């Protein structure tokens, strides 16, 4: 969906947008672009866990090596621009030690502190899947370059983002994927019982946080932040399907292991 969204942006903001198509792994492209930036929001990535399992070398090359090359390009600048790196909640692994209880249509943490506040940034990292390893590697490089070289860089460890223009697939953007399947009258496949809970954040709220980070980068440099909707906005897969059915009507759902 990136190309379609780019066409939309060009049509609606023709005087505000300049686009250079390049590869985050290409040092020559970065050397031309980075010195002209006042702020860099690093969204370039291989984004699917499933793809990372099939081709972990490509996943590493884009996510880890690409980020390192971007950091080197920033470090070479006389006045390094701000960097905000979008990491992932996958850096915390499976959270297997977090005890859960079943509550009607969802699982919830037994620990009242976790129920109230979610997972802390103080939690030890535990990379799972090649995707988690590559994004986590980049995450740590950004924080270390902020500490070691004084770069104005910070990390957002993000959960499930949703909102307009998201072209969701089974691999990523699951809220949009469910909505699109419902609109097209197609079945939705759920792996497990559907009571697994995901933290949800509306994209416009994320953008507010990104802009705030730019304003406060001197204070935030070298720190990582878990970015999500918080426990009050977490939902199980069944919750989301129920909401879609209220808006659209019955949805056919298949369950699998």
The number of helix segments (H) and strand segments (E) in the chain equals 11, 11
Residue 95 buriedness (CB in 10 A; 0-12 / 13-18 / 19+) = middle
Distance, CA of 91 to CA of 140 (rounded, Å) = 10
Strand runs labelled E in the chain: 39-42, 82-88, 100-103, 106-109, 153-158, 160-162, 188-191, 197-202, 224-227, 234-236, 253-256
Token pair belonging to 64: 């880890």
Q: What is the DSSP string of 88-106?
A: EGGGGTT-TTS-EEEETTE
Choose among 156, 162, 176: nearest CA to 89. 156
Distance, CA of 180 to CA of 57 (rounded, Å) = 31
131 counts as catalytic: yes
Which residues lie below 8 Å from residue 67, measured CB to CB, with a gap of 6+? 24, 42, 85, 137, 138, 141, 142
Is residue 126 helix, strand or coil?
coil
Distance, CA of 197 to CA of 205 (rounded, Å) = 20
Residue of 85, 92, 131, 162 marked active site: 131
Q: Which amino acids are annotated catalytic?
A: 131
């Amino acid at each position: 969906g990136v190309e379609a969204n780019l066409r939309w942006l060009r049509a609606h903001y023709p005087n505000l947008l300049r686009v250079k198509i390049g590869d985050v792994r290409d040092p020559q492209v970065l050397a031309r672009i980075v010195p002209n930036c006042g702020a860099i929001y690093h969204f370039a990535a291989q984004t699917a866990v499933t793809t990372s399992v099939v081709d972990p070398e490509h996943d590493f090359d884009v996510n880890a090596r690409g980020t390192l090359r971007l950091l080197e390009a920033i470090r070479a600048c006389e006045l390094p621009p701000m960097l905000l790196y979008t990491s992932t909640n996958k850096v915390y692994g499976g959270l297997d030690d977090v005890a859960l209880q079943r509550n009607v249509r969802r699982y919830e943490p037994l620990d009242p502190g976790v129920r109230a506040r979610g997972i802390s940034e103080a939690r030890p990292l535990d990379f799972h899947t090649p995707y988690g390893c590559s994004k986590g590697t980049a995450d740590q490089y950004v924080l270390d370059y902020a500490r070691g070289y004084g770069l104005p860089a910070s990390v957002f460890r993000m959960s499930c983002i949703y909102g307009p223009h998201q072209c969701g697939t089974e691999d990523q953007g699951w809220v949009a994927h469910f909505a699109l399947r419902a609109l097209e009258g197609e079945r939705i496949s759920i792996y497990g019982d559907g009571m697994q809970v995901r933290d949800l954040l509306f994209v416009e709220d994320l953008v507010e946080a990104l802009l705030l980070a730019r304003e406060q980068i001197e204070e935030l440099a070298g720190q990582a932040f878990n970015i999500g909707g918080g426990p009050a906005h977490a939902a199980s897969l069944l919750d989301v399907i129920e909401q879609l059915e209220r808006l659209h009507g019955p949805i056919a759902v298949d369950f699998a292991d």
